[in-house]
Amino acid sequence: MSNVVLQKEFEYFINNLPELVKKYKGKYLVIKNEQILNSYDSIDMAIIETKKTEALGTFLVQKCDDNEESYTRRYCSRVSFT
């Protein structure tokens, strides 16, 4: 499964963020095929329940919040690649 599939799901989330926050703020959304499959109170439940019907790697679980830090991760490394 290509990351391009999940990139489309993330772009769907970002492009629809204002409407999604109004409806699902604080919930964990399961997104597949650019639509919301369900929402959950925890990331664990979102994964556990969704993997019953969907293959892992084919859906995105994203916390629904308008705070950019809830959907942006930055990683730092002291290793240099040349």
Name the amino acid, one letter, at 18.
P
As a whole number of Å, the CA-based R_g of the chain is: 14
Query: How far apart, in whole angstroms, are the C-alpha atoms of residue 82 and residue 15?
Result: 35
Which secondary structure element, helix H or strand E, spans residue 61, and what is its range?
Answer: strand 60-63
Poorest-pLDDT segment among 3-7, 14-18, 35-39, 69-73: 69-73
Tell me what pLDDT residue 68 has: 73
Distance CA 13, CA 65 (A): 10
Asked whether the predicted pLDDT for residue 20 surpasses 90, the reply is yes
Per domain, the residue ranges of the chain are 3-70
Condensed to tens digits (0 to 9), the pLDDT of residues 30-68 reads 999 999 999 999 999 999 999 999 999 999 999 999 877
